[in-house]
């Protein structure tokens, strides 16, 4: 993509460039990394300003495992059991329903605030009601602070709803509880527990790339040569380039 973009910037037309091969054998998921954990008491809410300090990417043959790797790279440890808090806006309730059913099948326990609890219960999903902060104690923030909550799905709509959930976000940040604020992210997270990367499923990162493998096959005598101490002191490079011809 970068090469194509550079050629377009140089004046070439997309119609004249070779087609992009979209038939690839892997899925890539990128995740932003945020510094909120380093600032106790801050509200980890996003805004137009850029707040991420980097990004990571997970690659695998299926989306769920690639998503799990991206979360691990960003420092998020998804649980394989425990209590899940669900509180979503009305437009997200149909999307979150299959995910809630899947969580119950996986052995999780669900708690939800009034509106979400009624919706899930009417759909036949086992769920317990829990108070919002404004409804009095014990409420959801108490459970998060006590370490009872393992995962949070919370989507908001409107300024007041966003403000009301600030204490939930801050408590989740302090307790390092995975927190998803979109229906799409919540659904993706539910697919992870049964497909979390393991040693048997994850490919070695040192697996030779196809182009490198072809070069090694064509030049079996090629080897990496260590520089002698004098040359190494005079050069910023610790190792010489491989001895096969570059094309």
**Dihedral (CA of 152, 157, 158, 164) sign:** negative
Rounded average pLDDT over 196-206: 44
Average pLDDT over residues 43-56: 72
Q: What is the pLDDT of residues 95-147, one digit of tens each?
A: 999 999 999 999 999 999 999 999 999 999 999 999 988 888 889 999 999 99
Task: Tell me the percentage of the chain whose pLDDT exceeds 70.
Answer: 71
pLDDT tens per residue, range 54-69: 888 998 888 888 888 9
| Residues 132, 125: Cα–Cα separation, whole Å | 20
Q: Which pLDDT score, from 0 to 100, does residue 43 have?
A: 67
Q: Note the pLDDT of residue 175.
A: 85
For Cα atoms 46, 50, 54, give the angle at the middle one, nearest 5 degrees.
105
Rounded-to-integer distance, Cα 47 and Cα 247, Å:
46
Supply the pLDDT for residue 211. 57
Q: What percentage of the chain exceeds 90 in pLDDT?
A: 32
Task: Judge whether residue 79 has pLDDT over 60.
Answer: yes
**Cα–Cα separations (whole angstroms), residue 246 to 86, 207, 215, 220, 233:** 55, 21, 9, 15, 26
Confidence of residue 201 (pLDDT cuts 50, 70, 90): very low
How many beta carbons lie within 10 A of that of residue 58, not counting itself?
22
Name the token pair of 134. 């404004």
Poorest-pLDDT segment among 12-16, 38-42, 108-112, 219-223: 219-223
């Amino acid at each position: 993509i970068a090469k194509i973009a550079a050629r377009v910037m140089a004046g070439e037309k997309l119609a004249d460039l070779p087609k992009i091969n979209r038939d690839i054998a892997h899925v890539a998921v990128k995740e932003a990394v945020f510094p909120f954990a380093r600032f106790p008491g801050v509200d980890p809410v996003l805004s137009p300003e850029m707040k991420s300090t980097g990004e990571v990417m997970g690659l695998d043959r299926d989306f769920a495992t690639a998503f799990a790797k991206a979360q691990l790279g960003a420092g998020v440890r998804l649980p394989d059991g425990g209590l899940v808090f669900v509180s979503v806006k009305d437009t997200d309730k149909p999307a979150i329903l299959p995910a809630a059913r899947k969580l119950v099948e996986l052995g999780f326990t669900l708690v939800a605030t009034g509106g979400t609890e009624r919706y899930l219960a009417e759909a036949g999903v086992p769920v317990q009601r829990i108070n919002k902060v404004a409804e009095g104690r014990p409420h959801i923030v108490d459970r998060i602070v006590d370490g009872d909550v393992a995962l949070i799905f919370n989507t908001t709509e409107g300024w007041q709803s966003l403000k009301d959930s600030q204490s939930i976000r801050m408590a989740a940040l302090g307790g390092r509880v995975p927190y998803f604020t979109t229906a799409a992210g919540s659904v993706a997270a539910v697919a992870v527990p049964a497909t979390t990367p393991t040693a048997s499923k994850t490919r070695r990162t040192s697996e030779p790339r196809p182009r490198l493998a072809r070069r090694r096959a064509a030049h079996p005598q090629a080897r990496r040569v260590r520089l002698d101490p004098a040359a190494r002191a005079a050069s910023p490079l610790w190792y010489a380039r491989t001895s096969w011809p570059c094309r």
